[in-house]
């Protein structure tokens, strides 16, 4: 019997999703570093939570860090912590995200946006499993399950000098790629039914169903989810047509002039 991830709210029975489930169930019990790659909107954070719940640290909530939101001036302290008095404004000891994930899981979203000047220090942490708070003289041993994610091609980022090649290699112990929605045609109506809470063929006209099958969904599952929410809220027609879908499709809120 094949494995699936539906219990973790990851919907899909297509071949790419069955293969993804096999990868996840195989890698999740291990302590090895995992990097999840894939386009935006493919559910990388959702997948990281599934890996955590299937893994050796499932008893605690994962520490989640959005690298895209870290401020350059404070990112080192946020990740590695600091001692009281180590710099102006450091009135208390601060335990960083990495240390707080001891014996647990830390998910580093958009790892490709980690500042270059900190990548070397993070690489040392991955290799040595120790860190030193800013202003401290003693290193601390930290055992944490590392799951990173990115929608960037780290090989390209490394070639262009924005990402350390050694860090890319160290992160890629167990790489898992999330398939884009255009490669999961068999899951399209299954996902739509999940988001609409009804069978799509009961809500959509035939031309709308054909449109959904041919539209490339650059925003992937997130775009489909948002589209289904919009039409369920705003469309008053008994049946949703192709024109209704195109009217509410533009997920950034900017409509083109017809």
List, in sequence order, the alpha helices (H) in the chain.
Answer: 15-27, 44-54, 75-80, 97-100, 116-128, 154-159, 165-171, 188-196, 200-203, 206-214, 220-234, 242-247
Q: Among 73, 131, 139, which Cα is nearest to 97's?
A: 131
Q: What is the pLDDT of residue 258?
A: 32
Do β-strands 130-131 and 140-141 pair in parallel, antiparallel, or remain unpaired? antiparallel
Phi and psi at 86, nearest 5°, equal -75, -20
- pLDDT score, position 249: 83
- Predicted confidence at residue 257, as pLDDT, reads 39
**What's the length of the chain?**
258
Q: What does the alpha-carbon distance between residue 236 and residue 72 come to, in Å, rounded to a whole number?
A: 47
Domains present along the chain, CATH in parentheses: 6-177 (3.40.50.300), 181-247 (1.10.8.60)
User: What is the value of pTM for the model shown?
Assistant: 0.89
Q: What's the Rg (C-alpha) of the chain? A: 21
pLDDT of residue 250: 66
For the chain, the average pLDDT equals 91
pLDDT of res. 2 = 56
pLDDT per residue of the chain (258 residues) written in tens, 0 to 9: 458 899 999 999 999 999 999 999 999 999 999 999 999 999 999 999 999 999 999 888 999 999 999 998 899 999 999 999 888 888 899 999 999 999 999 999 999 999 999 999 999 999 999 999 999 999 999 999 999 999 999 999 999 999 999 999 999 999 999 999 999 999 999 999 999 888 888 888 999 999 999 999 999 999 999 999 998 888 888 888 999 899 888 644 444 433
The CA-based angle 146-81-85, given to 5 degrees, is: 175
């Amino acid at each position: 019997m094949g494995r699936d991830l539906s219990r973790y709210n990851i919907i899909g029975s297509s071949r790419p999703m069955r293969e993804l489930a096999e990868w996840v169930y195989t890698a999740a019990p291990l302590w090895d570093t995992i990097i999840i790659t894939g386009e935006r909107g493919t559910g990388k954070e959702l997948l990281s939570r599934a890996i955590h719940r299937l893994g050796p640290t499932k008893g605690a909530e994962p520490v989640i860090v959005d690298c895209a939101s870290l401020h350059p001036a404070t990112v080192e302290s946020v990740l590695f912590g600091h001692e009281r008095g180590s710099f102006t404004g450091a009135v208390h000891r601060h335990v960083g995200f990495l240390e707080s994930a001891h014996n647990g899981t830390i998910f580093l979203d958009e790892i490709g946006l980690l500042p270059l000047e900190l990548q070397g220090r993070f690489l040392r942490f991955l290799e040595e499993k120790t860190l030193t708070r800013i202003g401290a003289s003693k290193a601390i041993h930290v055992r944490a399950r590392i799951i990173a994610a990115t929608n960037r091609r780290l090989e390209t980022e490394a070639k262009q000098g924005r990402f350390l090649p050694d860090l890319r290699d160290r992160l890629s112990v167990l790489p898992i790629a999330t398939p884009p929605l255009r490669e999961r045609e068999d899951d399209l109506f299954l996902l739509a039914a999940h988001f609409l809470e009804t069978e799509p063929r009961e809500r959509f006209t035939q031309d709308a169903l054909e449109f959904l099958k041919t539209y490339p969904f650059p925003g992937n599952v997130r775009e489909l989810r948002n589209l289904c929410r919009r039409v369920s809220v705003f469309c008053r027609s008994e049946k949703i047509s192709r024109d209704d879908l195109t009217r509410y499709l533009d997920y950034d809120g900017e409509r083109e002039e017809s």
